Amino acid sequence: MPASHLLLAIAVVAVWGSNFVVIKWGLAELPPFLFATLRFALSAFPLLLFVRRPAVPWRRLAAFGLLLGPGQFGLLFLAMRADIAPGLASLAIQIQVFFTIGLAMLLGGERPRPLQYAALLVALAGMAVIAAHAQARGPGVQTTAFGLALVLAAALAWAGANMVAKSAGRVDMLGFMVWSSACAAPALAAISLAVEGPAAVAAGLRGAGLAAWGAVAWQALGNTLFGYGAWNWLLARHPAATVAPTSLLVPVFGMAAAAALLGEAMPVWKLAATALVVGGLALNAVASRVAAR
């Protein structure tokens, strides 16, 4: 991979990792489901007017949009409002890699390598460390068991979205993201009105300042359109085994950004959990490369 392409890959994972801090800033002013609604609405409009719908059945676009919108980001935003620290959220969500492997086994008949089972055990050890330090909600509590459960559910929804995207085959990924976002936004809007209520939605929209709207724009333009667009551009030009390992830096950037910008504490147990989860992901990447060869 040329140095310029490697730098692009690192820029993408830096955006994805630091995005968890941006989410926390947005949640300071916007209710979680409203925030997610605005994110996907801006990902769809006005590009929907200029980007052709990909040759994918509506049911796949809708399934991907619902899994990624209410499923992944709706639950993630809900958890990050008050139940999990941004750095830990960036780490815990990475368990989606193993959920994706599990769904591929159940739905696609794929058979993991023995090394991938070992990778799963290492990553689960890291998740166990996080779970052991989750506390009941109270003053000063950064992570609760409820928040961790929500993030794991979000990771499962992300894995489901991965399976839908895989079943779509080789399509225009920008169009796929834009049109599936158009499916996600109305569902999230309905959930926001039902769960958060019209009064909270109206108050959130009236009270949102530049920081909140900047967070929405970063989510839509930086995280979704630039991130996924550049990532798929790289995957189209290089083997997946060359590009994918750079995603191991997502939780590293996430933890570093949370510590630097939000003052999130980094005790020894949190560093140990990071080492275990990232180590499990790295071991899985090695297993995938061996299988590819």
* Contact (CB, 8 A) for 186 and 130: no
**Structural domain boundaries of the chain?**
3-292
- 239 vs 284: CA distance, rounded Å: 16
Six-digit token pair at 203? Answer: 């108050």
From first to last of the 293 residues of the chain, give the pLDDT tens digit: 688 888 888 898 899 899 999 999 999 999 999 999 999 999 998 888 888 998 889 999 999 999 999 999 999 999 999 899 999 999 999 888 888 888 888 877 767 778 888 888 998 999 999 999 888 666 666 889 999 999 999 999 988 888 888 777 777 778 888 999 999 999 999 999 999 999 999 999 998 899 999 999 998 888 877 887 787 677 667 765 566 667 778 888 999 999 999 998 888 999 999 999 989 888 887 876 665 55
3-class secondary-structure state, position 136: coil
- 49 vs 198: CA distance, rounded Å: 28
- List beta partners, residue 144: 135
Greatest pairwise CA separation for the chain in angstroms:
57
- 114 vs 134: CA distance, rounded Å: 31
Q: How many CB atoms lie within 10 A of CB 108?
A: 11
Q: Which phi and psi angles does 109 have, rounded to 5°?
A: 70, 15
Helix boundaries (H) for the chain: 3-27, 32-44, 58-66, 75-82, 86-92, 96-108, 114-132, 145-168, 173-191, 198-207, 210-217, 229-235, 240-243, 249-262, 268-292
- The set of residues, in sequence order, having a beta carbon less than 8 Å from that of 194 and lying 6+ positions away, is none
pLDDT for the residue numbered 239: 63
- 3 vs 13: CA distance, rounded Å: 15
pTM of the entire predicted model: 0.89
Report long-range pairs for 136-144 (Cβ below 8 Å, ≥24 apart). 137/82, 137/83, 142/84, 142/85, 142/88, 142/264, 142/265, 143/83, 143/84, 143/85, 143/88, 144/83, 144/84
pLDDT for the residue numbered 290: 61
- 3 vs 69: CA distance, rounded Å: 34
Q: Which phi and psi angles does 274 have, rounded to 5°?
A: -60, -45
pLDDT for the residue numbered 242: 64
